[in-house]
A = this chain, B = another copy of it.
Amino acid sequence: MGERIWTAALVVIGDEILSGRTQDRNIAQLGTWLNAQGIRLAEVRVVPDVQEAIVEAVNALRARNDYCFTTGGIGPTHDDITVDAVAAALAVPVEVNAEARAALEAHYSARGLELTEARLRMARMPQGAELIRNRMSGAPGIRLGSLFVLAGVPHIAAGMLDALTGQLEGGLPLVSRTIGSWGPESEVAELLASTERAFDGVAIGSYPFFKEGRVGANFVVRATDAAVVDACVGALAEGLRAAGHAPVEGGI
């Protein structure tokens, strides 16, 4: 294929994800959003609310990806340490951002509320921060070059991603099509491998399931060239049919 592949990484910050209290939704949400930007989510780390852990992850991942995102830990309470950790990772000071302070003042005064010291904490940002506006919350996300600091609450993170849509340089979006079939995936393992080899730039994933008392699998064909994906899906469907596994377009 030869085109440049753009990659991003994500650092999910939060004890609540590691303890199992909260089901993460930002990995899948960011991965899906990045596909549409022509950027591949290449790796993710989940770290606790501990500054050294955040610094290590952010620095390792931003060094080897085009973009790095974080989610979580940007609220007003004592367990929200992302801003300080990111500033430490970038070796820049934390300061009260005038634009963020004005946004918070507007947000709270519109609600008849005071800008307390705790709320003002949300205007503390690493030096050089640009704000990522969102309509869901007074606290903006933060952009520092190729590093993006997003909220942990998934619908607020989604609002920040909306604001970034079309802003990041990427390559060709990844195209994918799914076909499924009933029966054990082990019966078509060789077919999957040989079909993948036959089409340049294609990856086929096989995802088994157990439904209605029967086993089956969905096969996801991915590439940046839609015509190649279509040709590969056609060949795979034919192979499945020949093997007695009726293909189901769109998956099961």
Contact = CB atoms under 8 A, between A and B. Distances in A.
Contact of A118 (B27, B43, B176, B190): B190
A46 B44 contact: yes
21 contacts: A15-B205, A16-B220, A17-B31, A17-B44, A18-B41, A18-B42, A19-B222, A20-B28, A21-B28, A22-B207, A23-B25, A24-B27, A24-B28, A43-B45, A49-B205, A75-B185, A75-B206, A75-B208, A78-B196, A79-B192, A79-B205
Interface of A: 12, 15-25, 27-35, 40-49, 53, 75-80, 113, 116-119, 121-122, 153, 155, 174, 176, 184-187, 189-190, 192-193, 196, 203-210, 220, 222
Given A20-B35, A21-B220, A22-B207, 20 more contacts: A12-B44, A17-B27, A20-B27, A20-B30, A21-B207, A43-B48, A43-B53, A44-B45, A49-B205, A75-B185, A75-B186, A75-B206, A76-B189, A77-B186, A77-B206, A78-B192, A79-B206, A118-B187, A121-B189, A122-B186
